[in-house]
């Protein structure tokens, strides 16, 4: 199998800039361990792209520094929301992970939940209320009345951020107005979610939707021609154990802030249900390559919480650990993700030729 040159994008304009840099560093090390060549591209907080300190010039249709594939290790707005994915589409560069539409959809927690509700049958999820800042200013009493049906406690979140940035757990209704105002400092759309009973469980998904094989172009890398379509893989579920009230930013990114228990301490029936819903959610929202689906599990009752299209790849991140426990070691995981991206790119090129 031919080796690849991979452009790893890290940093970005969002509040998750530092997390992205850590993810990018870990991905570069893993790709080098797998034998691939790596081009490091850092996206500054002002949005400028640089490689080895020099500005990166991008032109539509002309690729990215000669890379075979791009791995955008970006989290949050301007990176995980379809913006950079659209840029890479314009450059005609294969890239790891969800496409433009799925990235944008999954970044919007409200649209994501609406799609789950519209699925046939509906995918079970945590109840919620969406609140836009102009409506909150105009009708605060009506908004609070809607939230009241969720019970207490509730979680107040900006709708377009990840890594638990800006999230607050509210047990006293008197604190709701302040929590909403704080969420609106990050986003004009907030989401208030009901308490999810039970334990937090996460499941990693790896793969592409199965499709008939296409004859690749003559210049396609060797592994693309050799691969057969494979249904996406759902990992062994893992249980998130943490000392605080909820799985916040510090618990996610501070060494020792959480414990990942694999396999999760759930019943065989709940385990199968988690994997089933992870794969179904992955397919329903149009994801490709990778995702991490988060759940609340209470006995045999399983609720989908969120889906992350570009999970963290830091030393404390869950996604790679779940796949490793399922038989896919880190360098192999990165290799497979890059080759899946190339495969998808050439399959689409054949359809549009």
Mean pLDDT for 207-214 is 59
- Pick 10 or 213 by higher pLDDT: 10
Tens-place pLDDT, residues 269-289: 999 999 999 999 999 999 999
Percentage of the chain exceeding pLDDT 70: 88
| Separation of alpha carbons 181 and 197, rounded Å | 26
Dihedrals φ, ψ of 329, to 5°? -65, 160
pLDDT category, 210, cuts 50, 70, 90? low
Provide the CATH number for the domain formed by 106-110+197-207+216-335+337-352 in this structure. 3.30.470.20
Which of 104, 105, 101, 103 minimizes the C-alpha distance to 115? Answer: 105
Q: What pLDDT sits at residue 162?
A: 65
Q: What CATH fold (topology level) applies to the domain 127-194?
A: Dna Ligase; domain 1 (3.30.1490)
Tens-place pLDDT, residues 8-63: 999 999 888 999 999 999 999 999 999 999 999 999 999 999 999 999 999 999 99
Tens-place pLDDT, residues 246-268: 555 554 555 666 899 999 999 99
pLDDT tops 60 at residue 237: yes
Q: What pLDDT sits at residue 129?
A: 98
Tens-place pLDDT, residues 123-149: 999 999 999 999 999 999 999 999 999
Mean pLDDT for 220-241 is 70
DSSP three-state, residue 269: helix
Asked whether 69 and 7 are in contact (CB, 8 A), the reply is yes
Q: What pLDDT sits at residue 157?
A: 94
| Correct CATH for 5-97 of 3.30.70.260, 3.40.1190.20, 1.10.260.40, 3.40.50.20 | 3.40.50.20
pLDDT tops 90 at residue 5: yes
DSSP three-state, residue 30: helix
| Separation of alpha carbons 170 and 38, rounded Å | 45
pLDDT category, 242, cuts 50, 70, 90? confident
Asked whether 36 and 69 are in contact (CB, 8 A), the reply is no
Asked whether 228 and 213 are in contact (CB, 8 A), the reply is yes
**CA gyration radius for the chain?**
20
pLDDT tops 60 at residue 228: no
* 39: Cα within 13 Å, side-chain hemisphere: 20
Asked whether 205 and 234 are in contact (CB, 8 A), the reply is yes
pLDDT category, 223, cuts 50, 70, 90? very low
| Separation of alpha carbons 231 and 235, rounded Å | 13
Equal CATH topology for 106-110+197-207+216-335+337-352 and 127-194: no
Chain mean pLDDT for the chain: 90
Widest pairwise Cα distance in the chain:
65
Using CB atoms within 10 A of its CB, is residue 9 exposed (0-12), middle (13-18) or buried (19+)? buried
Instruction: Report which listed range, 14-23, 47-56, 205-214, 305-314, is most confident.
Output: 47-56
Where exactly are the structural domains of the chain? 5-97, 106-110+197-207+216-335+337-352, 127-194
pLDDT category, 87, cuts 50, 70, 90? very high
Active site residues: 16, 163, 253, 292, 294, 306, 308, 312
Mean pLDDT for 165-194 is 94
Which of 264, 196, 194, 213 minimizes the C-alpha distance to 234? Answer: 264
Q: What pLDDT sits at residue 140?
A: 98
Kindly provide the b/e burial profile for residues 173-205, where b requires at least 16 CB atoms within 10 angstroms of the residue's own CB: eeebeebbeebbebbebbbbbbbbeebbbbbbb
Mean pLDDT for 65-75 is 97
| Listed range (40-54, 114-128, 147-161, 197-211) with the worst mean pLDDT | 197-211
């Amino acid at each position: 199998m031919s080796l690849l040159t991979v452009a790893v994008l890290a940093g970005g304009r969002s509040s998750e800039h530092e997390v992205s840099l850590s993810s990018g560093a870990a991905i570069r090390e893993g790709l080098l361990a797998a034998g691939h060549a790596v081009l490091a591209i850092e996206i500054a907080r002002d949005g400028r792209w640089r490689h080895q300190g020099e500005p990166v010039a991008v032109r539509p249709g002309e690729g990215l520094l000669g890379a075979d594939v791009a791995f955008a290790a970006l989290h949050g707005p301007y990176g995980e929301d379809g913006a950079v994915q659209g840029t890479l589409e314009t450059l005609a560069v294969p890239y790891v992970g969800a496409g433009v539409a799925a990235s944008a959809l999954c970044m919007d927690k409200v649209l994501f939940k609406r799609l789950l509700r519209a699925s046939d049958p509906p995918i079970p999820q945590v109840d919620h209320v969406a609140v836009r800042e102009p409506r909150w200013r105009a009708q605060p009493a009506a908004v609070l009345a809607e939230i009241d049906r969720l019970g207490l406690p509730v979680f107040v979140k900006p709708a377009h951020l990840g890594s638990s940035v800006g999230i607050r757990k509210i047990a006293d209704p008197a604190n709701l107005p302040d929590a909403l105002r704080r969420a609106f400092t990050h986003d004009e759309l907030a989401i208030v979610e009901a308490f999810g009973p039970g334990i937090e469980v996460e499941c990693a998904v790896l793969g592409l939707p199965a499709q008939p094989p296409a004859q690749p172009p003559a210049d396609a890398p060797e592994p693309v021609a050799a691969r057969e379509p494979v249904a996406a893989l759902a990992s062994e579920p893992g249980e998130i154990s943490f000392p605080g009230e909820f799985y916040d930013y510090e618990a996610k990114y501070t060494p020792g802030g959480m414990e990942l228990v694999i396999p999760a301490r759930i019943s065989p029936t709940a385990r199968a249900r988690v994997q089933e819903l992870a794969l179904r959610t992955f397919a329903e929202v149009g994801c490709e390559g990778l995702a991490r689906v988060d759940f609340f599990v209470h006995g045999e009752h399983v609720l989908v919480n969120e889906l992350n299209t570009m999970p963290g790849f830091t030393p404390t991140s869950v996604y790679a650990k779940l796949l490793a426990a399922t038989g896919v070691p880190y360098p192999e995981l990165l290799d497979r993700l890059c080759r899946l991206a190339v495969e998808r790119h050439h399959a689409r090129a054949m359809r549009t030729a």
